Amino acid sequence: MKNLKAMSAALCRAALCAVLMLNVGGCAEEAKSGAGFGNEAETGSGAETGSGAESVSQTDAAKDNNSEIEFAAPSLIDWNSAISQTILAENASHYSGEECTAEGHLILKQDVEPDTMTVYVLTMYGEYQFQNGNLVKNGGTGVIPVRMTFHYDSDGSWELTDYRNPEDGSRYVPSIQAMFPEELWEEAISPSEEVQEELKKQEQKQAKAYLEQLGRKAEIGDYRDFDYVLLTDAGVSVESSNGIMADHELSRYPGWIGTIERLEDGLRYEYRVEIDQAAGAVIFTRREMETGNVVESRQVPCTFQTQADLPQTQEPPQPQADLPQPQADLPQPQGPPQAQADVLLTQAPPLTLQDSLSSTLAEFTVDCGNYTWNYPDEQGQMVGVATCGTGPLDAGIEREKLAVPDYQGMKSVLYSVSMARMPDTFQIKEYPAAALGSSQAEPLWEGTAENTDFLKLKKDRVYVITALWPEENLEENGFYGQGEYVIVTD
């Protein structure tokens, strides 16, 4: 059990936090007047946003739960502020511990009993780090439904007795249904885009307040909002790049050409990665930012690809075979069009889906996200290419959704698959749509498909599909590698 008196002071050690989060009579400007007992709280209905909208905290403060702050009587409690503090405290130890923590939330319902308050909330949590001068969400969650239970003690304090997250894997949806009233199931399991944007807005407003506290200006966003130049993008060979990434002593440096800032023992340090092609090395420098003193510098020898070896950006050839034709009534699915046998791919090809039962024969194409690829150049030397961007559940947030039709009595729809060269196997992970943006989410199901001609897809799902072209088939295919595809269904 966590006492709100005990956990609140640590979260609000910064002066700005103390003013905005603990002013019970008038919290941050977006907190609603009916947030406590007496108005909407007594009815147990009505969704509220707010959450101490400009509260920020440093992680070291969030993990120190020894101080105590007295809360006002229950009728005066600003529940948005209390819930904000609770979300920050509960998430503080689960991520990498960046310098700025922020949250957003939407109160769906409050159930009031004489000495108990149960709150049903959609939450979002983020930890922000300076990357290339931008303030970037480097860890945290997407929208997570949470049930919080508070008990009112005779000494006048409210105590958190239960903070309940959904279970992982196949228990995700059933656990939400067990936690939340039935009228809230749809909102909790599949939050709307509007809710996602609102919580993101709240979270980023807190990050902006943190910048103002520091007296700095910077762009604020997620990793995918900014451009990063990877070592391989700048010509470093895949072998050298992989060796650098595997060096534990360099793990605190960015995985791209640029900078990361870290707070260490109260001092701010810049970790910088640069390339010196003339010296044939990647340069790693750690600098104390206030004094400008370089406290660590290291050169790592590396090899570079020639210009001819660098991957080209042209689109791979598309399949040319005729599309399959539907049959009458309840047709059996036909095989997908086969790709040209003589295609030499220099990158993972797009994946095209077609509803085998549809009369429209509409196609839905998914470009590859992260991939590793190996192929011979004109001299017969193997060229390795690797792309590494955002995680698949983050990458899927802004993707076009596949509209899965309703066929009577069918829980899933069978789609034919075509690619410029069909892979040997698919490794498939199926997530609920609500898992988008949550790097910690567990799949509802995962498995391997040896038949890559078809995929069964359900509504309101995120599918992360890894296509494999094994090295043992290099002679037959002329390349080998794997590619990751994210399919979001509506």
Model confidence at 267: pLDDT above 90: yes
State in Å, rounded, how far the first CA of the chain is from the last one: 39
Tell me if residue 117 falls in helix, strand or coil.
strand
Task: Give dist(CA 291, CA 62) in Å, integer.
Answer: 28
Tell me if residue 479 falls in helix, strand or coil.
coil
Q: What is the pLDDT of residue 258?
A: 95
pLDDT exceeding 70 applies to what percent of the chain?
A: 73
Tell me if residue 144 falls in helix, strand or coil.
strand
Q: Which stretch, 232-246, 285-299, 389-403, 425-439, has highest mean pLDDT? A: 285-299
Q: What are the structure tokens assigned to 201, written together?
A: 């807005």
Angle of CA points 434, 435, 440, to nearest 5° = 150
Q: What are the structure tokens assigned to 476, written together?
A: 């037959």
Task: Give dist(CA 1, CA 65) in Å, integer.
Answer: 13
Q: What is the pLDDT of residue 248?
A: 83
Q: How many helices (H) does the chain have, and how many strands (E)?
A: 11, 22
CA atoms within 13 A on the CB side of 70: 4
Q: What is the pLDDT of residue 176?
A: 92
Confidence of residue 409 (pLDDT cuts 50, 70, 90): low
Confidence of residue 439 (pLDDT cuts 50, 70, 90): confident
pLDDT exceeding 90 applies to what percent of the chain?
A: 34
What average pLDDT does the structure give for the chain?
76
Q: What is the pLDDT of residues 22-77, one digit of tens each?
A: 222 222 223 222 222 233 333 343 455 554 433 333 333 333 433 333 334 444 46
Which residues touch 68 (CB under 8 Å, ≥6 apart)? 3, 5, 6, 9
Nearest to 464 by CA among 486, 482, 436: 486
Among left, alpha and beta (phi > 0; psi -120 to 50; other), residue 30 is alpha
- Position with higher pLDDT, 269 vs 382: 269
Q: What is the pLDDT of residues 291-336, one digit of tens each?
A: 999 999 999 999 988 654 444 444 444 443 343 433 333 334 444 3
Q: Which stretch, 106-115, 279-288, 332-341, has highest mean pLDDT? A: 279-288
Task: Give dist(CA 212, CA 204) in Å, integer.
Answer: 12
Q: How distant, in Å, are the alpha carbons of 241, 242, 256, 273 from that of 230?
A: 9, 12, 4, 10
Confidence of residue 193 (pLDDT cuts 50, 70, 90): confident
What are the helix (H) ranges across 152-192? 172-179, 185-189
Strands (E), 20-83: 48-49
Q: What is the pLDDT of residue 411?
A: 73
Q: Taken in order 168, 173, 174, 175, is the CA torsion positive or negative?
A: positive
Q: What are the structure tokens assigned to 411, written together?
A: 């829980």
Q: State mean pLDDT over 237-264.
A: 88
Confidence of residue 213 (pLDDT cuts 50, 70, 90): very high
Q: What is the pLDDT of residues 132-161, one digit of tens each?
A: 999 999 888 889 999 999 998 888 788 899
CA atoms within 13 A on the CB side of 204: 15
Q: Which stretch, 86-100, 282-296, 322-336, 360-374, has highest mean pLDDT? A: 282-296
Model confidence at 287: pLDDT above 90: yes
Q: How remote is the C-alpha of 386 from its chain's centroid? A: 21
Q: What are the structure tokens assigned to 54, written together?
A: 């400009």
Task: Give dist(CA 221, CA 95) in Å, integer.
Answer: 18
Structural domains in the chain, sorted by start: 2-221 (no CATH), 227-301 (3.10.450), 351-488 (no CATH)
Task: Give dist(CA 98, CA 58) in Å, integer.
Answer: 8
Q: What is the pLDDT of residue 24?
A: 26
Q: State mean pLDDT over 380-409.
A: 78
Neighbours of 221 (CB within 10 A): 16
User: For residues 373, 377, 380 and 381, what is the CA-based torsion angle, rounded to 10 degrees?
Assistant: -60
Tell me if residue 75 falls in helix, strand or coil.
helix
User: For residues 466, 467, 473 and 475, what is the CA-based torsion angle, rounded to 10 degrees?
Assistant: -120
Q: What are the structure tokens assigned to 367, written together?
A: 């470009």
Q: What is the pLDDT of residue 53?
A: 38
Confidence of residue 359 (pLDDT cuts 50, 70, 90): low
Nearest to 384 by CA among 351, 346, 350, 419: 346
Task: Give dist(CA 424, CA 420) in Å, integer.
Answer: 13
Model confidence at 9: pLDDT above 70: no
Instruction: Show the 3-state SS of 211-226.
Output: HHHHCCCCCEEEHHHC
The answer to whether 10 and 67 have CB atoms below 8 angstroms apart is yes
The answer to whether 365 and 415 have CB atoms below 8 angstroms apart is no
Residues belonging to the chain: 490
Helices 79-91 and 4-11, packing angle to 10 deg: 80
Q: What is the pLDDT of residue 4?
A: 46
Q: What is the pLDDT of residue 21?
A: 31
Lowest pLDDT segment from 191-205, 304-318, 469-483: 304-318
pTM: 0.55
